[in-house]
């Protein structure tokens, strides 16, 4: 009984999100274009997330280097540390960790913000005043999340690699030029492109889930909290699912 209710709720919500996404695409290219609001959301979603992303990725690169070094020393391949950590960060760890941080900060923020507007009937007031709330609130935020996350991933990868450089030099001496030469010599186009492309899908998933949960939030303050929480959880799950699909697709295309 419980299992049937779970699957019923799962398929119902999947259908609602799919319909919500279809509505988004139908509104995407229709005028009027909310350029000012889109740029404002880019600043809020992208620029204001930068400090947290940089701090987290820096620590990630530093800790990853310190954890891997002893194993490489045991096998006598410590010189390969910059290359191994660099490939791991650029291909997988950097995009996924940055996306999860993004989901925690931006997904919950969007869900709570739109949920509060729904509860206080601000969205209904926008419809009455002749404004298209879906285009103004949802389309701008989803677009901003989709385009800002790849930029955050690039910056996060760079900061993580710098943390790796400091980690390498904690127990030895490696010049700055030599470190980056080892990193980029072992990176290829097939390492960078799939990671960059899937970060667009990560950003879209975070944006669409956060907006959906907030836009259809239940009444009351409890509903706002549930919207923010479920937006983070569902966004995180979708990030892992998208990453799994991306790995399979790149394997089929021979980019692994």
Alpha-carbon span 68 to 64, nearest angstrom? 6
Q: Where along the chain do its domains lie?
A: 34-252
Please say if the pLDDT value at position 114 is more than 60. yes
CB 57 within 8 Å of CB 94: yes
H-type alpha helices, the chain: 2-28, 35-45, 50-74, 81-88, 94-102, 108-119, 122-128, 133, 140-168, 176-186, 189-215, 221-252
pLDDT at 41: 94
Report DSSP state, residue 256.
Answer: -
Please say if the pLDDT value at position 241 is more than 90. yes
Tens of pLDDT, residue by residue over 26-64, are 888 888 888 999 999 999 999 989 999 999 999 999 999
Q: What is the token pair recorded at 184?
A: 């980029």
Please say if the pLDDT value at position 173 is more than 80. no
pLDDT at 2: 61
Alpha-carbon span 119 to 186, nearest angstrom? 52
pLDDT bracket for residue 191 (50, 70, 90) = confident
């Amino acid at each position: 009984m419980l299992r049937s209710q779970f699957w019923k709720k799962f398929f119902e919500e999947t259908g609602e999100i799919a319909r919500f996404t279809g509505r988004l695409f139908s509104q995407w290219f229709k005028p009027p274009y909310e350029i000012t609001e889109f740029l404002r959301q880019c600043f809020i979603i992208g620029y204001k997330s930068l400090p947290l992303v940089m701090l987290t990725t820096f620590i990630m690169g530093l800790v990853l280097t310190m954890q891997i070094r002893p194993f490489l020393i045991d096998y006598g391949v410590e010189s390969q540390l910059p290359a191994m950590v660099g490939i791991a960060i650029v291909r997988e760890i950097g995009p996924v960790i940055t996306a999860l941080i993004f989901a925690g900060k931006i997904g919950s923020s969007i869900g709570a913000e739109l949920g509060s507007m729904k509860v206080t009937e601000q969205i209904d007031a926008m419809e009455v005043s002749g404004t298209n709330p879906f285009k103004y609130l949802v389309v701008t935020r989803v677009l901003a999340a989709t385009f800002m996350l790849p930029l955050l991933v690039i910056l996060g990868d760079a900061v993580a690699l710098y943390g790796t450089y400091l980690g390498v030099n904690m127990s030895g001496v490696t010049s700055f030029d030599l470190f980056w030469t080892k990193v980029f010599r072992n990176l290829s186009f097939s390492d960078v492109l799939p990671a960059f492309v899937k970060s667009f899908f990560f950003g879209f998933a975070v944006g669409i889930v956060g907006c959906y949960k907030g836009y259809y939030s239940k009444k009351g303050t409890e509903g706002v909290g549930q919207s923010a929480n479920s937006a983070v959880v569902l966004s995180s799950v979708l990030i892992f699912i998208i990453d799994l699909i991306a790995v399979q697709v790149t394997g089929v295309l021979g980019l692994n």
